Structure 1
Amino acid sequence: MDKVEVYDTTLRDGAQTEGISFSVADKLKITRRLVEMGFDYVEGGWPGSNPKDLEFFSVVREDPLLRERVTAFSSTRRKHISPAADENLRHLCACGVKTATLFGKSWDLHVINALNTSLEENLAMIRESVAFLRERGLRVIYDAEHFFDAYKHNPDYALSTLAAAVEGGANTVVLCDTNGGTMPWEIEAVVQQVVREFPMVRVGIHAHNDTGMAVANSMMAVRAGARQVQGTVNGYGERCGNADLCTVIPNLTLKCGYPTLPPESFGRLVELSRYVSELANVHPYPQQPYVGMSAFAHKGGVHVSAIMKEPRCYEHIDPALVGNRRRVLVSELAGQSNLLYKLRELNLDLPSEGEVARQILAQLKELERQGFQFESAEASFELLVRRAANGYERPFVLESLRILTELQESKAVHTEATIKLRVGDRVVHTAAEGNGPVNALDNALRKALEQFYPGIRRMRLLDYKVRVLDGAAGTGAVVRVLIETGDGQSNWVTVGVSPNIIEASWQALADSLTYGLLQRGG
């Protein structure tokens, strides 16, 4: 089948997401990753519009590969001036890229009410701007803003704006559902019409997600003949976001057979999704199709029993195709199949049936009733199972813990933790300060244990979350604490639950160090 070009606009449209701001270094890292994976175009932003984009394009200009793949974005010339006099178009020509993406007005409503010009002048703005860039050796992708709304309101004029771009020499015309309000069947009908009208150019789709249809609309456009899809990694974008390329790409190739990225890049889609979310400082969405942590997670015992026999029973693809993995969750819904799967996964030599298994499942369900949650705290679950095995030895045992917090008006808060632990046949008693009770507890625990287990120095607390489980109980509510810890090689999550936040924190913190010692030794 015909290749579908993949055009990424994470660095422009994605950067318009509320709360996201990429540095120049971030933009360059993402650009290089996308180029390396074989994305056809990476939209870099508006050259000359701000110091950040100016610096970004100055780096791109010096790299031949980036110059070929990165596109610069701008608008058509302003009304009643020549293209040569338009500052935005001059910046496009000077930024060093080989492809320019130009957007213009398709909707007569916008032309009259927003641009305050005539319909004829708007057509001239489009035609002359595209021609100006083509004459200077640039490929031109023309983005027809609000095209579907324009087509519904005045189809003849909407098509005439595309004709103006094609007359100017545009290589690709992209139909934009800028307001994100068009339905998939409308997309299909309009794209079919445009493909018939303009067989000499490539047609693209740029979908926004205001009705939750961005991915569906992108798919329907390709089905109707579009051969370029624009979108963003993880669906980032203004308002409700753009079409999520992490979903569109595998849908097109794995489900419909259209070539998109090189085959070797599909196994890196999960890595790409998480890499961009890290740079965007946005927590990954667990239920994101294909690449989310929960995309291939199984919780119900019946489901787990089935996938152990035949994964296709509850998985639409092999998770490894996109770089993901199958996960079996343990909870109050778990059955023996879940336990068997986890035992195999953890390489634990425990019987999956019989009294030990029944005790583990009963303990698991009782702990979940109390508020524990092991779906995301798999390290605590593994410890729960290992403690049921014969021969398990705890690396340390708490004898006592006391935390003192002194608060005085207009003075810094003083917190000290005193801890007594038993390690083997020795007892250690020490104290440490911190900027709060949990920090003081962490410092005291590490101080006590590092003489026995030097490897603890490599372990770092990465995240600490507290959730109130019953808000109606006010300050007497039970809280759940989740702690994420890492040692530079891997990260793990542990959980604690108690009406006392210090006790819950102790449970999660003690498990975090215990698990790290179990995995890496002392």
Structure 2
Amino acid sequence: MPMLKDPSKKYRKFPGMNLPNRQWPSNTLDKAPRWLATDLRDGNQSLPDPMSIEEKDLYFDKLVEIGYKEIEVSFPSASQIDFDFTQSVVKRAPDDVWIQVLSPCREELIRRTIESLKGAKKAIVHLYLATSECFQRIVFGMTQDESVELAVKCTKLVRSLTKDDPSSAGTEWQYEFSPETFSDSPPEFVIRICNAVKDAWGPTEENKIIFNLPATVEMSTPNVYADQIEYFCNNVADRNMICVSLHPHNDRGCAVAAAELAQMAGADRVEGCLFGNGERTGNVDLVTLALNLYTQGISPKVDFSDILSVIKIVEQCNKIPVHERAPYGGQLVVSAFSGSHQDAIKKGFNDRENLVALSGKTPENVHWQIPYLPLDPKDIGRDYEAVIRVNSQSGKGGAAWIILTQLGLDLPRGLQIAFSQVVQKEAEVTGRELKASEIEALFRKEYITNSFILKDYDIIRVDEQSRKFIGTVDLAGRETKLTGVGNGPISSFTDALTNGFGVKVEIWDYKEHAIGQGSNVRASTFVEIMVNGKERRWGVGIHEDVVQASILSILAGYASFV
């Protein structure tokens, strides 16, 4: 069946909220929320092949290493595997990590769930009950009054089995309640059921109740979700005793925006998964949320300094690759193929190097501002070699960047243009991206590799204005003695080439810079020569002595004409 020409006959526009005095649009994000990683529960239940116990252990350890202090580990009543895993985590979880488990509002499942937490130091029991008209009518056949009655009854049961049970005194308990399908529920009913649950649990300012307000299925633009959160925060009773938590799904592709706007609207906590795994299009991406804060100068309180190791664990355990364009983590997100992008990035790094030198500060204390790179790749353990990658669409800046990073040679503009044509031709022939090693080999072959061997030479002062070059070069085993006069070492050598090989060699362009520092410094020279007044060719020379480097660069350029 084709798409409808008038979809309004089948689908209705999601109604917005009448919130004329909304405050969240003027707010900003100034601190990290409480994070809850639900990779091992919500993420795991969405996998075609759920994680093994060994994979769950590996994943849990990585979440702890990153710095997550609240981790939802399982649905203990669902299977013996989940129950046993919860018990194993309870035994080895760090003292400062809260272990969270999930249960529906069913007495026998709640008892089994709390049993799995026996011996825990810090535990969060999470119950959920759908509150939307759609779910109450179609799935559960319940009225609003019946839903409130059930939620209160189950909350009291959790209380009796946890904080009111003397045998559980060794555990620090928290309680979380989710009005599932919150974003599609009547706001007044959500307030009503949450107030009833709160009164049944009895929170304090020191030990708040967590109300998790999920966009179980994302159905609206992010601003509507923010309105719903602000309405809840402003109307629920005893707000100071409540932690408002978010659980956005990504059905419309807006989960990150929804989570950020909802925090601006008053939420305190965010639940999600690394790289957005989860049912359908996934949960909100915790990596993106954290690093979005980081790029605004706000510590996210979790550490992605080694994001590649995180990606490795996520892909190994989920058996789903992290998309190459996933924000921050994707293989290609810090890579530029476009010539204009590459040129801008290269100039940005040059500018930053100058700013750091002038400031006298360490790089981490100088404001980051590089075109197309909102985050320094090295902050998350990525290498600059991946920043600029070269194919047939790349310009002069891309290949020049590779040579700078590989060989330390900052090519003059004319050589950048010449070399980019060589690279583009090779990329078109191969029909693929060129590796950095291939680009380096191309450069050496074109501009450094020399069929001439400089055997020996001397430059003699003739008078105030003149210098004389005397030397020998070897070409394929045949030695040629060269003699020439000029106003300096370079002009005397080009005159010697002219005399020795019967062609006119002139310097068209010359640049040089140092490579390295201190006793290891070497000179790199870039010389463009013209032969017989027609053809021009670049050569590059590298040597401890700048004069010899210049001679080598001229020989490298001239070698292609022989």
TM-score band by shorter chain is 0.5 to 0.7
Partner Cα separation in structure 2 for residue 130 and residue 10 of structure 1: 25
Q: Quick one: which of 194, 208, 215 aligns to 1:162? A: 194
What is the Cα deviation at residue 29 of structure 1? 1.0
Q: Quick one: which of 71, 81, 92 aligns to 2:114? A: 92
Partner Cα separation in structure 2 for residue 368 and residue 17 of structure 1: 41
What is the Cα deviation at residue 30 of structure 1? 1.0
Q: Quick one: which of 359, 362, 375 aligns to 1:317? A: 375
Partner Cα separation in structure 2 for residue 392 and residue 229 of structure 1: 62
Do the aligned residues in 2 keep the contact of 1:35 with 1:69 (CA within 8 Å)? no
When residues 289 and 172 of structure 1 are mapped into structure 2, their CA distance, relative to the original with a 3 A threshold, is same
Give the corresponding residue for 1:194: 232
Partner Cα separation in structure 2 for residue 324 and residue 106 of structure 1: 44
Give the corresponding residue for 2:315: 277
Do the aligned residues in 1 keep the contact of 2:295 with 2:374 (CA within 8 Å)? no
Give the corresponding residue for 2:181: 146
What is the Cα deviation at residue 149 of structure 1? 0.6
Q: Quick one: which of 54, 61, 65 aligns to 1:32? A: 61
* Match runs of 1:232-243 below 5 Å: 232-243=273-284
SS of 1:114's partner is: helix
What is the Cα deviation at residue 129 of structure 1? 1.9
SS of 1:161's partner is: helix
Give the corresponding residue for 1:248: 289
What is the Cα deviation at residue 359 of structure 1? 6.5
SS of 1:39's partner is: coil
Partner Cα separation in structure 1 for residue 407 and residue 159 of structure 2: 62
Cα root mean square deviation, aligned: 2.7
Q: Quick one: which of 140, 159, 180 aligns to 1:134? A: 159
Partner Cα separation in structure 2 for residue 389 and residue 350 of structure 1: 14
Partner Cα separation in structure 1 for residue 230 and residue 113 of structure 2: 35
What is the Cα deviation at residue 329 of structure 1? 1.1
Partner Cα separation in structure 1 for residue 159 and residue 277 of structure 2: 31
Partner Cα separation in structure 1 for residue 326 and residue 82 of structure 2: 30
* Match runs of 1:116-515 below 5 Å: 116-135=141-160, 136-137=162-163, 138-150=173-185, 154-169=186-201, 171-198=209-236, 199=239, 200-255=241-296, 257=298, 259-262=299-302, 265-311=303-349, 312-326=370-384, 327-347=387-407, 360-370=419-429, 372-374=431-433, 377-388=435-446, 390=448
Give the corresponding residue for 1:424: none
Do the aligned residues in 1 keep the contact of 2:396 with 2:419 (CA within 8 Å)? no
Partner Cα separation in structure 2 for residue 283 and residue 120 of structure 1: 45
When residues 105 and 15 of structure 1 are mapped into structure 2, their CA distance, relative to the original with a 3 A threshold, is same
SS of 1:291's partner is: coil
SS of 1:255's partner is: coil
What is the Cα deviation at residue 223 of structure 1? 0.6
SS of 2:219's partner is: coil
The structure with the largest alpha-carbon Rg is 2
When residues 66 and 307 of structure 1 are mapped into structure 2, their CA distance, relative to the original with a 3 A threshold, is same
Do the aligned residues in 2 keep the contact of 1:165 with 1:173 (CA within 8 Å)? no
Map Cα deviations across residues 473-504 of structure 1 (whole Å, 9 max, x no partner).
Answer: xxxxxxxxxxxxxxxxxxxxxxxxxxxxxxxx
Letter in 2 for 1:127: V
Map Cα deviations across residues 194-237 of structure 1 (whole Å, 9 max, x no partner).
Answer: 11123130101111111001111010110101010111111111
What is the Cα deviation at residue 363 of structure 1? 4.1
Do the aligned residues in 2 keep the contact of 1:274 with 1:284 (CA within 8 Å)? no
Letter in 1 for 2:376: D
When residues 100 and 155 of structure 1 are mapped into structure 2, their CA distance, relative to the original with a 3 A threshold, is same
Letter in 2 for 1:297: S
The aligned length equals 378
Unmatched tracts of structure 1, length 5 or more: 78-82, 394-522
Structure 1 runs, 4 residues or longer, greater than 4 Å off: 348-355, 357-360, 377-393
Letter in 2 for 1:275: I
Map Cα deviations across residues 250-285 of structure 1 (whole Å, 9 max, x no partner).
Answer: 22343273x5325xx142344323431233222221
Partner Cα separation in structure 1 for residue 50 and residue 38 of structure 2: 14
Partner Cα separation in structure 2 for residue 102 and residue 26 of structure 1: 26
Partner Cα separation in structure 1 for residue 126 and residue 220 of structure 2: 23
Partner Cα separation in structure 2 for residue 26 and residue 187 of structure 1: 34
Give the corresponding residue for 2:135: 110
* Match runs of 1:76-87 below 5 Å: 76-77=105-106, 83=107, 86-87=108-109
Map Cα deviations across residues 56-81 of structure 1 (whole Å, 9 max, x no partner).
Answer: 1131121242794221111112xxxx
What is the Cα deviation at residue 380 of structure 1? 4.3
SS of 1:29's partner is: helix
Give the corresponding residue for 2:509: none
Map Cα deviations across residues 154-176 of structure 1 (whole Å, 9 max, x no partner).
Answer: 33222222223322327110111
SS of 2:283's partner is: coil
TM-score scaled by length of structure 1? 0.66
SS of 1:313's partner is: coil
Q: Quick one: which of 69, 82, 92 aligns to 1:63? A: 92
Unmatched tracts of structure 2, length 5 or more: 1-29, 164-172, 204-208, 350-369, 452-562
Identity %: 21
Do the aligned residues in 2 keep the contact of 1:374 with 1:380 (CA within 8 Å)? no
